[in-house]
């Protein structure tokens, strides 16, 4: 059975990995000013408040930028596409893009989150919107 939580999880990001284990994409929302933030941090960068609550995101967004990542010494079985996604809520998240040929990737490609096992750990990944295995909201 894959691990939901990576080996090193701190106080500030435990909620994120708990959400991933439940198939939910969570970020911090500052209770002082309402700012959404990711990656998690102990203090709001906008108002410096320390209090926050988890906020579930839709998991829908568009590719802002992307690269084809290649291992420096080992050949990859398949190209690994790493995307910077701007989610509907304005948060940007870095993850792999699954289920698409590198020639088909473009900025502004609509994507949805999916949760996949990678090297024994469940991670949020993205697929083109409407592809099999994506989260329907």
Q: Which domain holds residue 124?
A: 58-130
Whether residue 133 is predicted with pLDDT greater than 70 in this model: the reply is no
Q: Do 18 and 51 lie in a common domain? A: yes
Is residue 109 one of the residues assigned to a domain? yes
Three-state DSSP class for 14? helix
Q: Give me the percent of the chain exceeding a pLDDT of 90.
A: 71
Residue 135 covered by a domain = no
How far apart CA 82 and CA 96 sit, in angstroms, is 4
Q: Are residues 66 and 76 in the same domain?
A: yes
- 63: which 2 tokens? 């590719």
Contacts of 135 (CB under 8 A, 6+ apart): 23, 59, 112, 113, 114
At 5 the pLDDT is: 58
Provide CB contacts within 8 A for 20, sequence distance 6+: 4, 115, 122, 123, 124
Indicate whether 137 belongs to any domain. no
pLDDT band of 135, cuts 50, 70, 90? low
In a domain, 136, yes or no: no
Are 94 and 77 in a shared domain? yes
In a shared domain, residues 90 and 69: yes
- For residues 122-128, average pLDDT: 95
């Amino acid at each position: 059975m894959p691990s939901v939580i990576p080996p090193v999880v701190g106080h500030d990001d435990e909620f994120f990995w708990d959400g991933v284990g439940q198939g939910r994409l969570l970020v911090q929302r500052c209770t002082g000013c309402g700012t959404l933030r990711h990656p998690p941090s102990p203090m709001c960068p906008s108002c410096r408040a320390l209090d926050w609550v988890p906020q579930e995101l839709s998991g829908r967004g568009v590719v802002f930028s992307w690269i084809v990542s290649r291992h420096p010494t080992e050949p990859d079985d398949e190209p690994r596409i790493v995307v910077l996604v701007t989610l509907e809520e304005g948060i940007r998240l870095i993850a792999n893009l699954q289920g698409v040929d590198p020639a088909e990737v473009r900025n502004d490609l609509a994507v949805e989150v999916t949760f996949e096992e990678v090297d024994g750990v469940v991670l949020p990944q993205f697929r083109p919107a409407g592809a099999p295995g994506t989260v329907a909201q």
